[in-house]
Structure 1
């Protein structure tokens, strides 16, 4: 699926590294020195970027790329990758994700080992050999001038609403807050009216789940768009229709296997350009709070070069 042509040139310059020590609830924090050692074995200077907030992380990545970095590496989960992609998308600067988060969907779906040190070895070898491989990204815009890239999946339905609820809650701390947000939003569950335009063709649907995938999975292995391929120049759209609470609870575990798409209330589509409109929904891309609907999403072929 990822058998794409390797590129035999990696720009000279230091390897900039964005690391999130709190990724994966800190379980890989002690691995960073070993990751940096493996990257340094490629024979390039390695520069650790300083950032205390997500906004600072994104700004640091942009500064590194415009300042002459030869490559950018993100050590963390999908959120860390998401910040880094904003800087490398559409440039010649190659990128390497070291999966060290709770959700590592983009790294795993694009062929990197799930083990952080093994992934760092793959990246170092690609750097040493001057090799990178192109994959697609999704680019989304909204009428307010918002413009974001993402690598894995955009959630614009129940999962986005739950994330928004959890982010507004102050307690409980940790994963229990997300569990409570699910219970609250399940109690309020109702289909919403969406207007989708897929390569210009309009679909009006009442749905509780809408996902637009460049890759197949989100949320740490939930295969919401199981047929998505980040090298085919297309986006996969999965719509879960008028589910009631009981049916949604029953179907949701099937998302890990990708078999939810066989349910009669689920529809799947494929398009180069996807427009999604609905009232009162903030989208989540790569698990990160993103743009309010409506949004326009385009598949951008070979938008980033990966060090693998």
Structure 2
């Protein structure tokens, strides 16, 4: 399952297919730009599902995958590559493809969220406020590093201009109420422009991480984002839990990289994790 628009502009399809054959697989190619992949992911029998692309492509494909007994291979070809990074996956896709045979697996939890979209799966997280708003913009840059830097500048601007919202958060029965610039309920530690929101987050630990920015910490957060080299933890509040509900005033919210603007009324979003994770092949680094 390949997103042909991801990566640096080169088309690695032939090299990836060659690498998969070296790993003992006979690949069948589908482009995620065409609808055929949807039927294939839902109905075809296979020994392995290989996803080539960034976080959006991974989320789009796995949202349709019904069988958790089939292992997943992620060949990261996006900009931020948050999901791959959280699992310890690194290296060029065409190289990574050669080393899947016998690779150990790591679990990847799948979130389920009920909101204005109905009931949907997610992999990265559900977000509210300034962080969600900045994801709607298109970062610019000639290189991955420049694009990430521009995205972080956009987040800083969104936080500076952001209007605090009143949130009521329930985490396994514990209440958190306050005026926050953003709230993120995440399955993996890094999200958005490769920003580490929670160093405690593990993609397969069965826990959601809840991070939020009180309005009083606006200046500290903008100064953190203005560093030439991002150092130290973000000035955020954090907790963990299994079942989360968030009542918002009706501002901006996102599910993975899908953003909704200004719902007409207050929303309650219910968030949890499905019982069975995906199993993702993770070859040792430097192979």
Q: TM-score range by the shorter chain?
A: 0.7 to 0.9
For the residues of structure 2 that align with 1:256 and 1:179, how far apart are their CA atoms?
10
- Does 2:184 match 1:203? no
Distance 1:114 1:214, change over 3 A: farther
Find the counterpart in structure 1 of residue 21 from structure 2: 40
Structure 1 segment 1-308 matched on structure 2, within 5 A: 18-24=1-7, 27=8, 29-52=10-33, 56=35, 60-88=37-65, 91-123=68-100, 125-126=101-102, 132-142=105-115, 145-150=118-123, 152-164=124-136, 166=137, 185-186=158-159, 188-243=161-216, 246-252=219-225, 257=231, 259-260=233-234, 263=235, 266-289=236-259, 293-308=267-282
What runs of 5+ residues in structure 2 fail to find an aligned partner? 283-287
Deviations 1:115-153 (A, max 9, x none): 323432333x24xx7x64433222212266231221x33
Residue 43 of structure 1 and its aligned partner are, at CA, apart by 2.9
CA distance in structure 2 between the partners assigned to 1:289 and 1:62 by the alignment:
26
Post-superposition shift, 1:258?
Answer: 5.6
**Cα separation, 2, equivalents of 1:244 and 1:111:** 31
Q: 1:259 to 1:304 in 2, by over 3 A?
A: same
Q: Give 1:162 deviation, angstroms.
A: 1.9
Structure 1 vs Structure 2 CA RMSD: 3.3
Uncovered stretches (5+) of structure 1, i.e. residues with no partner: 1-17
Deviation at 1:72, TM superposition (A): 1.4
* SS of the residue 2:250 aligns to: coil
TM-score (norm 1): 0.75
Query: Aligned residues, how many?
Result: 272
SS at match of 2:277: strand
Higher helix share: 1
For the residue of structure 2 that corresponds to 1:204, the secondary structure is: strand
